Chain A
Amino acid sequence: MPWCCARKIFAANLVLLAMMGCRSGPPVVAVIPRTTGMSLWEPERAGADAAANAHGMKIYWNAPTREDDVQGQIALVEKIIDEKYAGLVLAPDQSLALMTPVRRAVSKGIPTVVIGSALPLNPGGRLSYIVSDDEQAGQMAAARVGAILNGNGTVAIIGINPDIAGVLERVRSFEATMAAQFPQIHIVEKRMGSFNVPYEQQITEEVLMGHSDLGAVLAVTADATRGAYSALSELHRTGSVKLVGCDQDLLAPLVSGEMDSVIAEDTYEMGHRAVEWIALERQGKTAPAFQKVAPRLVTKENLNSPDIRRILGLVAQ
């Protein structure tokens, strides 16, 4: 009899262990921005979280510690593929290098939504894009510069970092709009950019030294915006040279009026919609293949509007 009991206990333990091993939680969607801990990308998390909660899912949130750590982001995507997540939302650090990992994820059947900027891969199947409308961002920046310079003056473009897809489109759109709508405003400098804030500061200082009558600076990346602001602040020219930045990261000068405006990407909407599309895929429905999300011009005047505060992640969602 005791042997019999022991066998039963052993069998019960085995069943318990098997149940523990088979325990499964809600589906987890991996959300990998370019980096974390930045005002540009944290709203994406809030948006993704909100959508995941609405669909009974959870998100895994992580990214490289730097936007230029392409290898780190590739390693993260590989981990997501190996651990079989319910979906992948990726803001690629580099368009070419991330092609192969994304193709692998799609081929493994992981619904993948690329946000921010597109990769040179055709959408379709399990791959979708939700990108920021960079053409509109360029037009928006041109309109703002035109307005603050009253259609006459000089502007410099800094931070043209070709590693960030979409930046060149932003610049081209800006130039085209300026030429068409504000022919009296001249673009006096165009400088390549990097992921390095002090380098951007140095570039801006050189530009400011070279053009004493410069009316405005368009910084087309978050790092360039920081660098340009530091240079203007250092040279005490925040009052005379208007700074239009891109990709919300630096907001304090906006509040203080030391910076004119920022073209903000709506990363909250991108994250939210991306997780919704993955939920659609999981339900067997077809998600849209491509969508552009309009950026917003953030100024001191509209900073406290609910819409803008949501985009900037300044309110509890």
Chain B
Amino acid sequence: MKARLQRWKWPALALAAACAVAAFLFLLYLRSPKHGLPYHDSFAQGGADEWEAFGGTWAVYDGGMRNDSDERGAKLMTGSPYWKNYLVEADVMLLGEDGDAGLIIRASDEEQGVDSYSGYYAGLRTRDNMLTLGRASHGWLEYRNVSMPESVRAFQWYHLKLLAYGCDIVASATFPLNSGHTTTASMTDKNCLVSGRIGLRSYSAGGFWRNIQARVATENDLRAMLGNTRTQTGSSEQVAGNGITIFGSGSLPSHLNAQVRPAANVEPVSSLRLVSSSQPITATIRGVVSLTAPLYVQDSTGGISVHTSTSPPLKVGDEIQATGTVSPGAFHSTLEDAKVQLLWARTPVQPVAVTASQAATGAFAAMFIEVEGHLRSKEREAENNLALGLEDGQQSFRAVVNAGRGDLLFNKLKPGSLLRLRGVCVVDSEYTHNLTPFVLLLRSTDDIEVVAGPPWWNARHVIAAGFVLLLLLLIGHFIYSRIEQWRLRAILEEREMLAHEMHDTLAQSFAGLGFQLQAIRNRMPEDMPALHKQIELACDLVRHSHEEARRDIMMLRTESFEQMELTRMLEQCAKKMLDGGNVEIAVSQTGDLRPLPLRINDTLFRIGQEALANAVRHATPKRISIMTAYTKDSVQMVIEDDGSGYDAGSEKKGFGVRGMKRRAAAISAAIEIATSPNLGTRVQVTAPLPAGMHLKYWAGKKRKSDS
């Protein structure tokens, strides 16, 4: 064993060293500041799995990434934390008039929150028409603000670039795209952040990004961008020591569009269900947008579907006023041909937590709800939608969401998982197809939360467990068999040693004793017949004992058992006993011959030997039959002679017969001795085989059939 270990130690060490080096190199590769660069988004193909959201409602839309939320500081991050000197650029559009949107570089420690990350941010701000550049360290420090030559407006594309090289950070914004004027802002941060990921960020206004690219930056790139720097107009903001900024001049824009004033005749949404369908009326409602496509609005009394052909760009959380023709439904109303006016942004509606059974009553139709269910199926539908089939208790329902960034999540979702979903509860047959009581329309895949994975005890796992258990049983049995073999071998070795000892001591002594008695007899005078007879008797006893000893030695020897089968052993024994006589010996063997446990083999042989000896000594037979029969779970031995027999009724049970029965009982064998005067004697012993022998039997049968 030790030698074997010694032989393998060097290859094993070499292998371990190679693995360690490979792992180190792989780690080095992953941490390379260039790993993953250049990067180009795959929004046009609908892919965005590599992006991670921190707030906001992000979705792939029209070849770009869109955040429809007004949340301050919503972020979407990707890339490697080890990227160092690089340039990221994208086309950016603001979706609101009072906020900013832009790009993040060298980011780390991102969390949901206004400035909850470490990194550099450059964005376009509508409030003061600035290209702003600064650093976030879970707080905001504005370094540079440069006025854009034209007003920063929502729903216009700007091309934004942000470069980090060493401790120099440069941002530029071009408008109009491609051929427009470029405004540049730069900063040098003495204790700069050296590496980090890239990201998209919007503040108060939603945003739309497309053509996002990142590549390794060189000093030439830095020079080229700084070369674009136009004369910087004086910043309207001053940087405070701890990152607080104040507006130094000008007035704040009005938040409220003068054209849009909340109407006085606003009606609660729930009251529209009472409108008679025979007399269509026009009504005005006011509520918060809970879903933009299709448009659902909710106030404190309920939700409503709004159909409109012309609507201002809306975000989830916007408070709107809509006027249209009421189309009452069984569970909720619809506002047809509605004129929608944006009032202001508000906090998105918080979902009402309900069970699927409650949602199935229709009481929460058109409302934003949170519901849990077990995933039963998932599929991709037309228009890049993902559809999930769910069940909760006795109710089943579906959830539909735009794939957006959800491919990764979709692939990870396992049937049987418990999901928590937030979305608008819709009961229209257009969505339910009359297959489920309701459908949940989700805003984005961020509305899907995996509460728990599928239960472990499914059919696949049970089969696998059964298979493993079976394998373990087989291994256990194999080990047990090996141990039994080792034990048997030890016993046999012990017996072998005992046989050698007996041969060298007891047998030799008997031989010597025989010689001495022979010598005494030869020297004795012939006129002492009585003494001759006694010495002859003693010689016979010694010879008999010698033979017995030889038989015992033969029985004890391993090779006897390993090489000889019971029938052959009995045959040999009989031949020796009859040595030169004219008694016919008939031997037969049936069944599948196989090795017997030593104890059974030994006992049967002893019984057979006794039966043969009785036949030879007392019955004067003409024929002795030795038969063995092997069955699946027992072995049977029969010794039969056609000798004188004896009267079983007057049997004086001698030591031999009692000994045979005692031996048979020791191995739980059944013994039958059938005899009658002049009709011979039949001794039949049937010994059960232990359970382990059955497998050997079947294995033997199999081998036989295979051959």
Enumerate chain A interface residues (CB-CB to B < 8 A): 2-3, 6, 35-37, 39, 42-43, 45-46, 60-66, 68-69, 71-72, 195-199, 201-202, 205, 226-227, 229-230, 233-234, 250-253, 255-256, 258, 312-317
User: Cα distance A144–B671 when bound, in Å?
Assistant: 122
User: Cα distance A313–B13 when bound, in Å?
Assistant: 62
B139 touches A61 (CB 8 A): yes
Contact with A along B330-360 (1 / 0, CB 8 A): 0000000000000111110010000000000
Stretch at the interface among B84-92, B245-253, B646-654: B245-253
- Jot down 12 A-B pairs with beta carbons below 8 A, ordered by A: A36-B113, A36-B139, A37-B114, A39-B244, A42-B243, A42-B244, A45-B242, A65-B73, A65-B112, A71-B350, A233-B252, A255-B248
Stretch at the interface among B254-262, B295-303, B541-549: B254-262
> Which among A43, A250, A316 is the interface contact of B252 at CB below 8 angstroms?
A250
> Which among A62, A226, A256, A315 is the interface contact of B111 at CB below 8 angstroms?
A62
In this assembly, does B241 line the interface, its C-beta being within 8 Å of a C-beta of chain A? yes
Q: Which residues of the other chain, A, contact B242 by a CB distance below 8 angstroms?
A: 42-43, 45-46, 313, 315-317
Not counting A37-B72, A42-B243, a sample of 13 additional A-B residue pairs whose C-beta atoms are within 8 angstroms of each other reads A2-B13, A37-B73, A42-B244, A45-B139, A61-B138, A65-B74, A66-B72, A68-B347, A251-B246, A252-B252, A255-B246, A255-B248, A316-B241
User: Cα distance A233–B253 when bound, in Å?
Assistant: 9
In this assembly, does B9 line the interface, its C-beta being within 8 Å of a C-beta of chain A? yes
> Distance in Å from the Cβ of B288 to the closest Cβ of chain A?
11
Point out which of B55, B71, B113, B258 has the most chain A C-beta atoms below 10 A from its C-beta.
Answer: B113
In this assembly, does B571 line the interface, its C-beta being within 8 Å of a C-beta of chain A? no
> Distance in Å from the Cβ of B20 to the closest Cβ of chain A?
10
User: Cα distance A62–B136 when bound, in Å?
Assistant: 12
Q: Within B229-274, which residues are at the interface with A (CB < 8 Å)?
A: 240-244, 246-252, 254-256, 258, 261-262
Q: Which residues of the other chain, B, contact A46 by a CB distance below 8 angstroms?
A: 242
B113 touches A3 (CB 8 A): no
- Output the nearest chain B residue to A233 by Cβ-Cβ distance: B251
User: Cα distance A253–B243 when bound, in Å?
Assistant: 20
Q: Which residues of the other chain, B, contact A317 by a CB distance below 8 angstroms?
A: 241-242
> Which among A61, A196, A251, A258 is the interface contact of B346 at CB below 8 angstroms?
A196
User: Cα distance A66–B72 when bound, in Å?
Assistant: 8
Contact with A along B647-686 (1 / 0, CB 8 A): 0000000000000000000000000000000000000000
CB-CB under 8 A for A314 and B246, given A198-B255, A230-B256, A250-B252: yes
B254 touches A65 (CB 8 A): no
Report how many residues on chain B are interfacial, defined by Cβ distance under 8 Å: 44
Enumerate chain B interface residues (CB-CB to A < 8 A): 5, 9-10, 13, 16, 55, 71-74, 111-116, 138-140, 240-244, 246-252, 254-256, 258, 261-262, 319, 343-347, 350
Those 5 A-B pairs whose CB atoms lie nearest each other, nearest first? A316-B241, A198-B344, A37-B114, A252-B247, A313-B244
B252 touches A229 (CB 8 A): yes
User: Cα distance A258–B251 when bound, in Å?
Assistant: 9
- Output the nearest chain A residue to B115 by Cβ-Cβ distance: A37
Q: Which residues of the other chain, A, contact B139 by a CB distance below 8 angstroms?
A: 36, 42, 45, 61
Q: Which residues of the other chain, B, contact A43 by a CB distance below 8 angstroms?
A: 242, 244
B240 touches A315 (CB 8 A): yes
Q: Which residues of the other chain, A, contact B240 by a CB distance below 8 angstroms?
A: 313-316
Q: Which residues of the other chain, B, contact A230 by a CB distance below 8 angstroms?
A: 252, 254-256
Q: Which residues of the other chain, A, contact B13 by a CB distance below 8 angstroms?
A: 2, 6
User: Cα distance A68–B251 when bound, in Å?
Assistant: 26
> Distance in Å from the Cβ of A270 to the closest Cβ of chain B?
16
User: Cα distance A35–B116 when bound, in Å?
Assistant: 11
B249 touches A233 (CB 8 A): no
Q: Which residues of the other chain, B, contact A69 by a CB distance below 8 angstroms?
A: 347
User: Cα distance A316–B655 when bound, in Å?
Assistant: 116
Q: Which residues of the other chain, A, contact B72 by a CB distance below 8 angstroms?
A: 35, 37, 65-66
User: Cα distance A35–B16 when bound, in Å?
Assistant: 53
User: Cα distance A229–B255 when bound, in Å?
Assistant: 11
> Which among B10, B55, B71, B256 is the interface contact of A198 at CB below 8 angstroms?
B256
- Output the nearest chain B residue to A60 by Cβ-Cβ distance: B138
> Distance in Å from the Cβ of A300 to the closest Cβ of chain B?
13
Point out which of A37, A61, A251 has the most chain B C-beta atoms below 10 A from its C-beta.
Answer: A37
A3 touches B114 (CB 8 A): no
> Distance in Å from the Cβ of A243 to the closest Cβ of chain B?
13
Q: Which residues of the other chain, B, contact A71 by a CB distance below 8 angstroms?
A: 350
> Which among A2, A35, A60, A66 is the interface contact of B10 at CB below 8 angstroms?
A2
User: Cα distance A130–B249 when bound, in Å?
Assistant: 35
Q: Which residues of the other chain, B, contact A72 by a CB distance below 8 angstroms?
A: 112
B71 touches A65 (CB 8 A): yes
Q: Which residues of the other chain, A, contact B258 by a CB distance below 8 angstroms?
A: 234
- Output the nearest chain B residue to A35 by Cβ-Cβ distance: B114
User: Cα distance A61–B242 when bound, in Å?
Assistant: 14
CB-CB under 8 A for A2 and B9, given A198-B343, A233-B251, A252-B246: yes
User: Cα distance A254–B524 when bound, in Å?
Assistant: 152
CB-CB under 8 A for A315 and B241, given A69-B347, A230-B256: yes
Q: Which residues of the other chain, B, contact A312 by a CB distance below 8 angstroms?
A: 244
- Output the nearest chain A residue to B71 by Cβ-Cβ distance: A65
Q: Which residues of the other chain, B, contact A256 by a CB distance below 8 angstroms?
A: 249, 251
Q: Which residues of the other chain, B, contact A195 by a CB distance below 8 angstroms?
A: 347
A202 touches B262 (CB 8 A): yes
User: Cα distance A313–B246 when bound, in Å?
Assistant: 10
B256 touches A234 (CB 8 A): yes
Q: Which residues of the other chain, A, contact B249 by a CB distance below 8 angstroms?
A: 252, 256
Q: Which residues of the other chain, B, contact A252 by a CB distance below 8 angstroms?
A: 246-252
B73 touches A234 (CB 8 A): no
> Distance in Å from the Cβ of B43 to the closest Cβ of chain A?
25
Q: Which residues of the other chain, A, contact B255 by a CB distance below 8 angstroms?
A: 197-198, 201, 227, 230
Point out which of B71, B343, B346 has the most chain A C-beta atoms below 10 A from its C-beta.
Answer: B346
B241 touches A37 (CB 8 A): no
Q: Which residues of the other chain, A, contact B345 by a CB distance below 8 angstroms?
A: 198
Q: Which residues of the other chain, B, contact A253 by a CB distance below 8 angstroms?
A: 251-252
A201 touches B114 (CB 8 A): no
- Output the nearest chain A residue to B343 by Cβ-Cβ distance: A198
A37 touches B140 (CB 8 A): yes
Point out which of B71, B139, B249, B262 has the most chain A C-beta atoms below 10 A from its C-beta.
Answer: B139
Point out which of A60, A198, A317 has the most chain B C-beta atoms below 10 A from its C-beta.
Answer: A198
User: Cα distance A35–B55 when bound, in Å?
Assistant: 14
- Output the nearest chain A residue to B237 by Cβ-Cβ distance: A252
> Distance in Å from the Cβ of A72 to the closest Cβ of chain B?
8
Q: Which residues of the other chain, B, contact A61 by a CB distance below 8 angstroms?
A: 138-139
- Output the nearest chain B residue to A79 by Cβ-Cβ distance: B111
Q: Which residues of the other chain, A, contact B247 by a CB distance below 8 angstroms?
A: 251-252
User: Cα distance A234–B140 when bound, in Å?
Assistant: 30
B246 touches A62 (CB 8 A): no
Q: Which residues of the other chain, A, contact B261 by a CB distance below 8 angstroms?
A: 202
- Output the nearest chain A residue to B17 by Cβ-Cβ distance: A6
User: Cα distance A317–B251 when bound, in Å?
Assistant: 28
- Output the nearest chain B residue to A268 by Cβ-Cβ distance: B242
User: Cα distance A3–B5 when bound, in Å?
Assistant: 10
> Distance in Å from the Cβ of B276 to the closest Cβ of chain A?
33
> Distance in Å from the Cβ of A159 to the closest Cβ of chain B?
15
A62 touches B347 (CB 8 A): no
> Distance in Å from the Cβ of A198 to the closest Cβ of chain B?
3
> Distance in Å from the Cβ of B258 to the closest Cβ of chain A?
8
Q: Which residues of the other chain, B, contact A35 by a CB distance below 8 angstroms?
A: 72, 114
